[in-house]
């Protein structure tokens, strides 16, 4: 690259996770973000008024041209995209691109993914790393190609996962790490010395499919540690949940695994799904192995509360199902 000619970038992204990457790239004089591509405005809130994506809001603050295609294969959109004559496209938390789009710039398109690829390919890598109880994850930059999340690796940064991390806290860590990694990657590409490594599936790979509503349903036949990790991986959104014996839904934001009562004799441990409480300080559920101690919950139609506050206004007798 000519040192007087900055790299022309198209940035593609939608959620708040992508905003620090966009704003970090804007601080480097070696590149020029010539346009931003993001999702169309969508109805949101009780009034169902159209809401702009976090990336569009950031682009508007910086007076950047914004493209919001409904169809990435549209000839009109692709012609408009081509008119910006970008050298490179940087993609963070956006839709799957058709080849005509990702292969358009002369230097291709790179993606920032919130895992250490090839582990956790897919839409929800942060959630699934926590659900599976990982102690580390990271961010990866790679070149886009036909199959999702399979292109040649460029750079990776490892991020440790603490015992206290949930989806919300780990999201913030990876958001910052991804922005820093994106800048280093673009700088390497601009300098013409970008390292690339083909992805190889030499180990058992875990995928990261989109989180569905039923993913969050607590199955108390599983072990308490597995359920505590599920709660972490879905907190604060979309949240793990269960049904109380009276049928009401209880969301669970924080929980910890506990061993079964060591004083219980043979056959004394309750069946999985049995609720245990003193009505004042603790609310626990017997699982297939151990107790799940609920710490932070929300009853449908109510506020999120620490469990001791929740129990003050809760009739604990409803946790015992009626006999038939």
Q: What is the pLDDT at residue 204?
A: 85
Confidence label for 45 from pLDDT (cuts 50, 70 and 90): confident
Strand, coil or helix: what is 187? helix
**Ramachandran region, residue 187 (left: φ > 0; alpha: ψ -120 to 50; beta: rest):** alpha
Locate the domains of the chain by residue range. Answer: 7-191, 213-319
Band the pLDDT of 77: cuts 50, 70, 90: very high
User: What pLDDT, on a 0 to 100 scale, did the predictor assign at position 142?
Assistant: 97
| Top mean-pLDDT range of 2-16, 28-42, 194-208 | 28-42
**Distance (Å, whole) CA 136 – CA 122:** 17
Tell me which of 79-88, 93-102, 142-151, 217-226 is least confident.
142-151
Query: Of 184, 186, 176, 159, which is closest to residue 20 (Cα–Cα)?
Result: 176
Q: In what order do the strands lie in the sheet with 153-160?
A: 66-67, 31-37, 7-13, 88-92, 109-113, 136-143, 153-160
Q: How far apart are CA 182 and CA 110, in angstroms?
A: 9
Q: Round to whole Å and give the CA distance between 196 and 165.
A: 31
Mean pLDDT on 259-272: 69
Euclidean distance between CA atoms 124 and 73, whole angstroms: 25
- pLDDT in the model for residue 196: 93
pLDDT at 202 over 70: no
130-152 average pLDDT score: 95
Percent of the chain having pLDDT more than 70?
A: 94
pLDDT score of 159 more than 60: yes
| Residue 268 binned pLDDT confidence (cut-offs 50, 70, 90) | low
User: How is domain 7-191 classified at the CATH fold level?
Assistant: Rossmann fold (3.40.50)
Confidence of residue 49 (pLDDT cuts 50, 70, 90): confident
More confident residue, 153 or 204: 153
Residue 233 DSSP label: H
pLDDT digits (tens, 9 = 90+) for 4-27: 689 999 999 999 999 999 999 999
> What CATH number should be reported for the domain whose range is 213-319?
3.10.25.10
Higher-scoring residue by pLDDT: 262, 70: 70
As annotated, the binding site for (6S)-5,6,7,8-tetrahydrofolate includes 115-118
Q: What is the mean pLDDT of residues 110-132?
A: 96
Annotated binding site: 115-118
pLDDT of residue 67: 98
Higher pLDDT, 2 or 298: 298
Whether 213-319 and 7-191 are alike in CATH topology: the answer is no
Q: Does residue 264 surpass a pLDDT of 80?
A: no
Q: Is 251 exposed, middle or buried (0-12, 13-18, 19+ CB in 10 A)?
A: buried
Enter the DSSP assignment of 280: S
């Amino acid at each position: 690259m000519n040192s007087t000619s900055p790299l022309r970038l198209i940035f593609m992204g939608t959620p708040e996770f992508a905003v620090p990457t966009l704003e970090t790239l804007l601080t480097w004089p070696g590149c020029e973000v010539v346009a931003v591509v993001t999702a169309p405005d969508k109805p949101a809130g009780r009034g169902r008024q159209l809401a702009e994506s976090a990336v569009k809001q950031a682009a508007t603050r910086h007076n950047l041209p914004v493209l919001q295609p409904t169809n990435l294969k549209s000839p009109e959109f692709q012609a408009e995209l081509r008119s910006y004559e970008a050298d490179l496209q940087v993609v963070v938390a956006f839709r799957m691109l058709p080849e005509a789009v990702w292969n358009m710039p002369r230097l291709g398109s790179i993606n920032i993914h919130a895992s250490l690829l090839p582990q956790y390919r897919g839409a929800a890598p942060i959630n699934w790393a926590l659900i599976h109880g990982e102690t580390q994850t990271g961010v990866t930059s790679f070149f886009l190609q036909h199959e999702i999340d399979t292109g040649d690796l460029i750079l990776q940064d490892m991020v440790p996962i603490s015992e206290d991390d949930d989806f919300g806290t780990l999201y913030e860590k990876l958001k910052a790490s991804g922005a820093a990694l994106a800048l280093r990657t673009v700088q390497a590409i601009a300098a013409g010395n970008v390292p690339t490594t083909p992805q190889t599936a030499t180990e058992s790979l875990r995928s990261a499919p989109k989180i569905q509503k039923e993913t969050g349903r607590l199955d108390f036949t599983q072990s308490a540690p597995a359920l505590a990790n599920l709660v972490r991986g879905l907190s604060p959104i979309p949240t793990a949940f269960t049904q109380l014996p009276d049928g009401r839904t209880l969301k669970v934001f924080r929980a910890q695994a506990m061993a079964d009562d060591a004083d219980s004799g043979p056959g004394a441990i309750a069946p999985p799904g049995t609720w245990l409480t003193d009505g004042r300080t603790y609310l626990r559920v017997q699982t297939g192995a151990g107790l799940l101690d609920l710490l932070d919950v929300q009853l449908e139609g109510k506020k999120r509360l620490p469990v001791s506050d929740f129990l003050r206004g809760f009739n604990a007798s409803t946790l015992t199902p009626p006999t038939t």
